[in-house]
Amino acid sequence: MSKTTIETIWPQAIAACDYGGSATKILYAGAKNQIRLLCMEPEVVSVPQESILAYGRDQLGSAEPENTAWVAFRNDYRAVGYLAKERFHANAGLSELKYERALHKTLAAMWAIKEKLNLPPNFTAAIAALLPPGEYEDRNRFERVLREALADYQTPTGQMSVELLAFNCKPEGGGIYLMHNKKVGSVLKERVCAIAMIGYRNASLLVVQRGDVRPGKTSDLGFIRMVERVVAKTSGQTAERLTPAIVAAGTQFKAAPLMRLARSTTKQGRAEEVQQIIAAIEEARPEYARSLTSWLDENLPSDCDELVFCGGTADYLRNELNEHYDRCPIIWNAEIAMPPILSKKGFENRLNDVYGMFSYFKANLKKQFNDRVTESAVCGSKGSVLQEIVARG
């Protein structure tokens, strides 16, 4: 009988998934690999089998797997990410439940990870996921469907079967909380801590009352609400084009990042368009900030000892949030220090939640698997003693 070691039972791939409205962010690692980032567009769309097969036949050149991903489960074909967005004109599904699209996003991500790590079509994995607090009750259903789908589905390189050795799901903001809890220790059991995760699609609130994590709350007051205000006050603009330009324009409303949005053929016309967009942003930003802080005020505990802000939208509104909540100690992004390999990817603080989840998940896995190895060794030694007794008669 072969000896059980952590190497023999450790999953071939570990992944933590954040199904953001602006991007699907996955941190992953192989059995002996350092942490890596996989980023995919949020689009998912159902497509006819014939269209997927035709795409495969007509495809020229070589692209990264995350840009050519599609999956099929129970003969339901879905294009995911860049392929869904560019080839099949899918939308980001901001009004849909995250966990329903998360199934296909996870299947596609595991295929891309397989390709990047050069794994066989059948391999073992451990997956962690973040869902909005409002969808956290769906985590068991999500795990059940995910396990079933991973066991047998189709991809651009053929059939795949992933054995899910471990699964963990936390509400959005959970990764931040886990890192914050690890950092401050038992002192958190004496505090009332609120974690506000403000992203592109949602604003979520997680309240920890003296160590007790209460059911979280979710609203649709993500950054998209501000962008929609700007779209309504401009001509011919879309949320997809405006979002990165608004962020790049910053608090000073710089004109340069907005110039590429101008559609006029004349220099004067383009300048006027940019000024119109700036005026729309200047009006929409305080409106959105008031809506967001009003929701937070309504849901924050009155005895809050500290407020942890995280998410790309929170960073965008840092000045407004610092000013509005000057009565309460604020900790930004739980002061997480990102590994250099991730901090250089251009996502700044948008990875903190999923990084916290990945770190916790991997450490917890290591403990569980070490315990399993120890248990196996103990059982094995007991078995040897028993065999010796039987042999002696």
Render pLDDT for 113-136 as a digit per residue (tens, 0 to 9): 999 999 999 999 999 999 988 888
| pLDDT score for 390 | 32
| pLDDT score for 378 | 64
Give whichever of 288-292, 311-315, 380-384 has the largest mean pLDDT: 288-292
- Is residue 40 over pLDDT 50? yes
Work out the pLDDT band at 249, boundaries 50, 70, 90. Answer: very high
Q: What is the mean pLDDT of residues 349-361?
A: 92
- In three-state form (DSSP H/G/I as H, E/B as E, the rest C), the secondary structure along the chain is CCCCCHHHHCCCEEEEEEECCCCEEEEEEECCCCCEEEEECCCEEECCHHHHHHHHHHCCCCCCHHHCCEEEECCEEEEECHHHHHCCCCCCCCCCCHHHHHHHHHHHHHHHHHHHHCCCCEEEEEEEEEECHHHHHHHHHHHHHHHHHHCCEEECCEEEEEEEEEEEEEECCHHHHHHHHHHHHHHHHHCEEEEEEECCCCEEEEEEECCEECCCEEECCCHHHHHHHHHHCCCCCCHHHHHHHHHHHCCCCCCHHHHHHCCCCCHHHHHHHHHHHHHHHHHHHHHHHHHHHHHHHHHCCCCCCEEEEECHHHHHCHHHHHHHCCCCCEEEHHHCCCCHHHHCCCCHHHHHHHHHHHHHHHHHHHHHHHHHHHHHHHHHHHHHHHHHHHHHC
Render pLDDT for 57-75 as a digit per residue (tens, 0 to 9): 777 567 899 999 999 999 9
